[in-house]
Amino acid sequence: MKLNELAAGTNARVKTLQGDAHFLNRTASIGLTEGVPFQVVRNDRNMPMLLYVRETLLALNRADCERIEAEVKA
């Protein structure tokens, strides 16, 4: 499932991140790596997504969210 398809309140893990080295470096430096658990805090249309990851509340571009695959925790 793509990250931007997850509803607010969902707990999930990052499965894969797709993009060039620049994108991967950037996401890693803010705490988004493969396997990291996170919580979707808000997901509103035309707004950045709000994620809670590694004790940080992050606002992430919607376009970037489409490049991140996540799996919902059972």
Partner 1 sequence: MNRIALLGQPNSGKSTVFNQLTGSRQHVGNWPGKTVEKKDGTYTWNGQTYTVTDLPGSYGLSGNSDEEVITENYIKSGEADLVCVLVDASQLQRSMYMLAEFAELDTPAVLLLNMMDVAKMQNKEINAELLQEHLGIPVLPFTAAENKDYDALKTLFEKELASPHKLASVPVSADGAEVSAQDKYDWIDRMLAGVSEQRNTVYVMSKLDQKMTRPVLGKLISLGFVLLAFIAAFIICMPFMLIGSMIPPLLNPPIANFLNSLHVHPWAVSVFSLIIPNTLYFSISMEAFVFGVSTAFGYLEEIGMLARIAYQFDGILSKLGLQGKAVAPILMGFGCTIGGTTGTRVMDNWGQKMLAMAVVWAVPCGSIWAVMPVISGMFFPAWGTVLVCLGILLYMLVMMWIVAKVFGPKLSPESARAGMVMELPPVHKAHWGHILKEALYKAWDIFNRALRTVSLISLIFWALSYSSSGALEASLLYRIGTAIEPVTKIFGLGWRTFMGFLSSAFAKEAVLGVLNAIFVGQSSVLDATFNAKTVTMDAAALTGMMLQNVSKAEALAFIFACTFNVPCVMALSTTYRESHSLKWTARVAGFYIGGALILSGIVYHIASLFM
Q: Which residues bind partner 1 (CB under 8 A)?
A: 11, 19-31, 33-37, 39, 41-42, 44-48, 50, 52-62, 64
Instruction: Please identify, using beta-carbon distances, which residue of 39 and 69 lies nearer to partner 1.
Output: 39
Instruction: Please identify, using beta-carbon distances, which residue of 58 and 69 lies nearer to partner 1.
Output: 58
Beta-bridge partners for 38 = 12, 53
For the CB of residue 1, give the shortest distance to partner 1 in the complex, in Å: 20
Between CA 9 and CA 41 the distance in angstroms is 6
Cβ within 8 Å of residue 52, ≥6 positions away: 38, 39, 41, 58
Instruction: Please identify, using beta-carbon distances, which residue of 31 and 69 lies nearer to partner 1.
Output: 31
Between CA 22 and CA 74 the distance in angstroms is 32
For the CB of residue 39, give the shortest distance to partner 1 in the complex, in Å: 5
